[in-house]
Amino acid sequence: MNSEFRKPFEYREDNKGLLILFIIMILGIDPLQSLSFASQEYKYMGHIPILGVLFFVIGGIFILYTIYTAVVVFRMKENFSCAAKKYIIIRTLYSVLNYLIIFFNILKKENLIGNSADQYESFGKMIVGELVVPLLYILSFSLAWYLYFTFSKRCRNAKMHKDMKDKT
């Protein structure tokens, strides 16, 4: 029997706290967001059949990429932080482009400014509510997770572990 004293946290070598949160968030949010983008784009641009199909195909590919990234991050292989950062960049570009396509189609097709309960009082309030706030959410989510995967102690340790393996 080993008489060496160990602190309780030393037994938890597989502690993945924020990584599990990241995985849950991307698996819970991004597939639904991707399907929502595709269905809204189909609603506004479905009169061009090839575009309607293309939006759903791209959404499906993005969902598969999300699952792949979740598996890579969960396994914590050598380059998991690099894979996560690439995913975050692609997710940001995908989300912003899709949201802008939807936003400009909403502007063309719907009357958002007026006096009824479903309308905004002014163009400025409409821009803030329909464009600025959603884009800030997309960018802040991506920035927070990108910074985590860049400066996290766990990610640095994984990179150092990889560098030590490469030297031997």
**pLDDT by residue (tens digit) across 51-101?**
889 999 999 999 999 999 999 999 887 788 999 999 999 999 999 999 999
Average pLDDT over residues 13-17: 66
Question: How many CB atoms within 10 Å of residue 73?
Answer: 21
Q: What is the pLDDT of residue 40?
A: 93
User: Which pTM was predicted?
Assistant: 0.80
Q: What is the pLDDT of residue 107?
A: 85
Report the C-alpha gap between 125 and 36 in whole angstroms: 24
Q: What is the pLDDT of residue 111?
A: 77
Higher model confidence: residue 12 or residue 23? 23
Phi/psi-derived region of residue 97, left when phi > 0, alpha when psi is between -120 and 50, beta in every other case:
alpha
- Is the separation of the CB atoms in 27 and 70 below 8 Å? yes
Residue 154 pLDDT > 60? yes
* Residue 66 tokens, joined: 């999300």
Mean predicted lDDT score pLDDT of the chain: 84
Q: What is the pLDDT of residue 166?
A: 47
Task: State what percent of residues in the chain have pLDDT above 70.
Answer: 83
* Residue 86 tokens, joined: 């690439």
